Structure 1
Amino acid sequence: MPLKAKIKDPAFSTQATRMASHNEPIAIKEQPGDDPEDVLFNSYYGVRTIELNRPNKLNSLNASMARKIVPRILEWQKSDLANILIMSGAGPKAFCAGGDVAALAQQNTDGPDGQAKSLAYFGLEYQLDHLIATCSKPYISYMDGITMGGGVGLSVHAPIRIATERTVFAMPETTIGFFPDVGGSFFLPRLEGKLGTYLALTSERLKGVNAFYAGIATHYIDSSILPNLTGRLAELDFKDYEDLATRLATIDATIAEFDSGLPHNEPMLLAGELRKAIDRCFRHQTIEEIIAALQKEPVVPATNEATDMIQTWAQKTLSTLSERSPTSLRVALRQMQLGRDWRIAETFQREHELAGKFMAHPDFTEGVSARLIRKPATTPTWNPSSLDGVSADDIEGMFRPREGVQKLRLFNHSPANDYLEYPYRLGLPREDEIEDMVRQGGKTAGQVIRQILRKHNQKVGVRQKIEEVLQRCCSEDDQGLLVWTAREA
C-alpha cells in the first residue's frame, strides 16, 4: 500500500530552497494554520502521488496546498527513488475546480495590503505551475472530474495529461472579471486554429473525450482504470542513462495497455463546420471585429442542419460575450496575441504582473462576489460597463510592467528549460503534421491515415482526428489524391 503524507521522505524537509535568477534562495515553507490534510502524498515503489484533498471544495487550490506541493516536487526531482510524479484530486467530482478566488476577493476589500496578500498567493501558484512545466521527472495529471482555472495550471503544462469520462475543462476567468492565467497565455494560443482564443473569451466547457480531441489532454481512459494504471506505472524501472523523452515514451506505451476505447455517444464537438466558424470569427484582432463576424454567421451555407447549428452557436456566443467583463475580454484577447511569442518563464512573470493589476481593478472583486459569494448569485456590475469604456491605452497599460517591481522568481529557471514550445508531444497528431504530409503530394486519404497511424503506434483517437482534419481541410483531385485547401486561421 502507498505511504501516506504523514510518513516523511528521508530527503524531504518542509522548507525548500532553490536558486532563481537572483542571488538569494526562494524559501517555501508551511505556515501556522495550514491544514495538514489538504494534500496527501503517497509513495508506491517508483511512483510519487500528489492528491489534492479538499473534495468538499472541489479540491480548489489554496496557499496551504501550494506550500506543501512545491517542496515535495523539488525534493522528488533530486531523488533517485522517485521515477514518476502523478497529481490527482480526491473524490469523484473534481481534479481541481480552480483557485480559492472567493478568499482572494474578500481579502482585496482590505485595500492595498489585502491586494498585496492576494498577489503573493498568485506568485506562489505561478511558481508551482512553472515548476510543473519544467519538472525534470515525468509528471502526469489525472484530469478526472472538474478541471478549471487553477486546476488547469496544475495539469495542462504536464507532458502527460489524462482525461476521463468525468473531465470538465474550462477557463472561466472572464466570467469573474479576471484573465485566463496559470499559464493560459502559453497554453491557449498554442492550441490549433483559434480554439484557444475561443476558449479564453467564452469560457466554453469541454467534457470528457472532447478535452482529448481538442488537444487539452494527451490521453483518454475510463476513470475506473486509473488505480490500475497507477499500479502498473509503479512497476516501471528506468535506466539511469535514459533521458526524459525516453521515459515519457515508455509511459506513453504503458498507458496504451489500458486503452478502453472512445465513447461512441460523444462526437467530436469542435469539428467540421463549427470549427471553421470558430476559426473565421476568432481570428480577428479586436473584440468588435469578433462580434461583427459572429453576427454574420453562417457565412457559408451548408446543409440546413449545419446552417441552423452554426446560427444557434453564433447567437449563443454573442450572448455569452455580452455577459463577460469588458476589461477581461480585451485583456484576454490581447493576451492570446502576445502570449504566442512568450517563453514559458516570461509567461508566468507577465501573468504575475497582470494579476497584480487585476487585484486593484474593481471587476475581479465584483465578479467573484456576484458569482460566488452573494447568495443567491447576482449579475456582476462591471466597471467600465461596456467595451467602449475600455481603450487600447487602458489595455496596453495592463501589460506594462510596474516600475521598481522585481519579476517573479521561479524554480527550475534556466536557459535550458525556458522553452518557446512545449518540448514533448504525446497527444493526438497536430494539424500541422497532417498538413505537411498532405502537402508533400501524391497521397490518398487512406495512405495519409495509415502512415500517421503507424507513426503514432495506432494510438486511440488518431484515426478520428485525421479523418476530421482531412474532411475539413482537404479536397481530392481528379486522381483521388489529397489537396490541402484550408486557409490559415
Structure 2
Amino acid sequence: MTDAAIDSSVLTEVVHGVGRLVLNRPRVLNVLDPEMIAAIDTALSAWRDDPAVRLVTIEGAGGRAFCAGGNVRLIRDNVRRGDAAASGAFFAAEYRVNRMIAEYPKPYVALIDGLSMGGGMGLSIHGSHRVVTEHAVMAMPETAIALFPDIGASFFLARLPGRLGLYLALTGARVSPGDAIYAGLATHYVPRASLEALKAALARDGIAALAAHAHPAPESLLARDRAAIDRCFAADDVLEILRALDAEDTDWARRTRETLRQMSPTSLCVTTELLKRGATMSLPDCLATELRLTRGVIRHPDFAEGVRAQVIDKTRDPKWQPARVEDVSRTAVLALFEGS
C-alpha cells in the first residue's frame, strides 16, 4: 500500500500498480455526499499522471450496494433552507468527476456488486470496463422523485440499443446483470465468488484478467421485451407512449403504463426532452445541459414532494403538480432547460 485513505468514507490505496477506490458507507448503501465526491476527485487526479498506477478499480463496501446514488435528502434540505447554490455545487462536482472518469487515460474498472443507482451509475458507466456480479442491480429511478436521469445519463441512455434508454429513463426499471450486458451498460459478468481472484489477477496481469475471469451472462429480460419496448417507446412524447401502451394491451404494457402514471408528470416530460437532445450531443454538452436543468428542477415543488414521499416518509404517495401528464405545460418544461 502506498496511499493512505483520503477519507474514511472513501478508502484508497495503490497495490501492485492498481489504484483502488472503495466507497465505504455501507450502512447507507454508499450514498454519495460532497466529501466522498471530493475524495474520489482527489484520488483520480493524483493517479492520472502517476506512473506507479496502471489501472484503477472502484467498488462498494458491504456487499449490498456499489452506490445507491447521490444524497437527494441533502439536496432537498439545501433548497428548503434557501441554499440552492450548495446543491448546484454538489451537482457540478459530481459531474466533473463523471467527465474525468469518461476521459481517464488509464483503464477504469467498476466492480458492481449490489445496487447501483443514479450517482452510482455515474461512477461506473463512464469507465472503460464495468463488471457486474449476480447481485448487481442497476437503475435510474429519478422520475419517481421528480428529478431526471443525470450524471451524463442523457448521453449514455440515448445511445442504448433501440428505445431501451428512454424506457429505462422513464420507468426507472431495475436492470439485472443479464440486462446490463445485453444493453451495453456492463462489459463483463463475474460471479461474486470470483471477485477477489479477479482483483488479484488485475494486479498481476492487468486488464487482460477481465476476459480470463468473465463468465457467460445470465438471460436478459430486456431482450425478451425488446420488440414491445421499441414499439411503445418509439415517440419522443409521453402521451404518445401512453397511447401506444394502451394499444399494446398486454400484461407488460399495462404494468408499464401503471408505472408511468405513478411518476412525476413533469419529470417524465423533462426526461423525454432531455434524452431527445442528448442523442445528438457530446458527453460534456450533456453534462452542461443537465447541470443547467438541475437549477429549475430542484426548485420545482415536485422534487421536494417526491423526495419526501419516496425517501423521507416512504409513504409512496406523492402529490404531483400538475397531477397528470395531460396537464403539463410544454412551455414550462422548456423553461426548465434554461435554468429558470
TM range (shorter): over 0.9
Q: Which residue of structure 1 aligns with residue 231 of structure 2?
A: 280
**Post-superposition shift, 1:4?**
6.0
Structure-to-structure mapping, 1:10-409, within 5 angstroms: 36-111=7-82, 114-236=83-205, 251=207, 253-263=208-218, 267-272=219-224, 274-298=225-249, 311-374=250-313, 376-400=314-338
Distance 1:178 1:317 in 2: 19
Distance 2:227 2:302 in 1: 33
> Residue type of the partner of 1:136?
P
Moved more, 382-391 or 319-328: 382-391
**Post-superposition shift, 1:254?**
2.2
Deviations 1:124-176 (A, max 9, x none): 11111111111111111111110001101111111100111010110000000
Distance 1:379 1:358 in 2: 20
**Post-superposition shift, 1:3?**
5.2
**Post-superposition shift, 1:401?**
5.3
CA contact (8 A) 2:136 2:176 kept: yes
Identity %: 40
Q: Which runs of 5+ in 1 are unaligned?
A: 9-35, 238-250, 299-310, 403-489
Deviations 1:93-115 (A, max 9, x none): 0000111111211221112xx21
CA contact (8 A) 2:17 2:55 kept: yes
The structure with more radius of gyration: 1
Distance 1:167 1:67 in 2: 25
- Provide the aligned C-alpha RMSD in A: 1.5
Structure 1 length-normalised TM:
0.68
CA contact (8 A) 2:119 2:151 kept: yes
**Post-superposition shift, 1:377?**
2.0
Distance 2:69 2:77 in 1: 16
CA contact (8 A) 2:154 2:275 kept: yes
> Residue type of the partner of 1:257?
A
Structure 2 length-normalised TM:
0.96
Distance 1:340 1:285 in 2: 12
**Post-superposition shift, 1:262?**
3.8
Distance 1:287 1:84 in 2: 42
